[in-house]
Amino acid sequence: MSSFWKVFVGVAVTLVVAGGGTYYYMSQKLENEKSNLQSQITELNKQIDDLQATETTTDSTDDSTTTETDETAGWKTYASSNIGFSFKYPNSWILTSEQSDDSAIIFAKYADTETGGMYQGSVKDIYIKVYEASAVSLRDWLITKYKIADTELSNYSVGKEIAMGQISGYLSDTGCCGGFDKSYVVNKGDHIFILGTTYEKYEDTLGEIAPTFSFTK
């Protein structure tokens, strides 16, 4: 074989070997890149699944947190079909008296039978009073009724604004002489409604009863 052919064959073999090596290297590189890419896709999918699971858990937690139990669902109801209002009060409570008082159309008292409704020898209760409204504003009516000169009520103020039965009114404090008397007061139509308590320990219960107050007329 001439020198030319020997060189030619050598070059051809070298090219084949080099080409094969290059092809193998590139194939392996592509395979590795494909494998890495697949791993990244798998990891991303896992992260997405984890995020979705977290959102589902959060939603469930939020639902359980926002679901509130109606503590007043089993309570008794006082209702006046004549004047047109009602409110709920605890099951263990009873009507202790219902009488006219201080020109009130309705004056009803309720006490807790579980504690006897007694405190230092006197009945402590939650009451509802209904008065005929006058031509003056509710603020002026309260001031006229409760701001009494030369007494501890001489500095009486109507209190902070509240709502009861979706009607704006006041949380009034008429306690004096060491006593306690807080009440929700609203004016609707021809009547003024006062829902209050003379017992400080019933203040929280009063705050639970007031939102159940509603008008039916």
Which amino acid type is present at position 78?
Y
Q: Which amino acid does the sequence have at 208?
A: E
Per-residue pLDDT tens over the stretch 105-146: 888 888 877 655 444 444 578 889 999 998 899 999 999 888
What class, spelled out in words, does domain 76-215 have in CATH? alpha beta
Check: CB of residue 214 under 8 Å from CB of residue 191: no
3-state secondary structure of 7: helix
pLDDT digits (tens, 9 = 90+) for 166-213: 999 999 988 665 668 899 999 999 999 999 988 888 899 999 999 999
Decide if 123 contacts 102 (C-beta within 8 A).
no
Instruction: Count CB neighbours of 84 within 10 A.
Output: 14
Residue 76 and residue 88 in contact, taking contact as beta carbons nearer than 8 Å: yes
Identify the sign of the CA torsion 131, 134, 139, 144. negative
CA 62 to chain centre: 12
For residue range 8-64, list pLDDT tens digits in order.
556 565 665 566 667 666 777 777 777 777 777 888 788 787 777 766 655 555 555
User: What burial class does residue 99 get, using C-beta atoms within 10 Å of its C-beta: 0-12 exposed, 13-18 middle, 19+ buried?
Assistant: exposed
- Predicted TM-score (pTM) of this structure: 0.64
Token pair in block for residue 190: 């021809």
**In the chain, what is the straight-line distance between the N-terminal and C-terminal CA atoms, in Å?**
122
Please name every residue paired with 192 in a beta bridge, in sequence order, or none if there are none. 131, 187
- Rounded Cα distance between 29 and 3, Å, is 38
- Supply 85's token pair: 């209002």
Residue with tokens 């009861």: 164
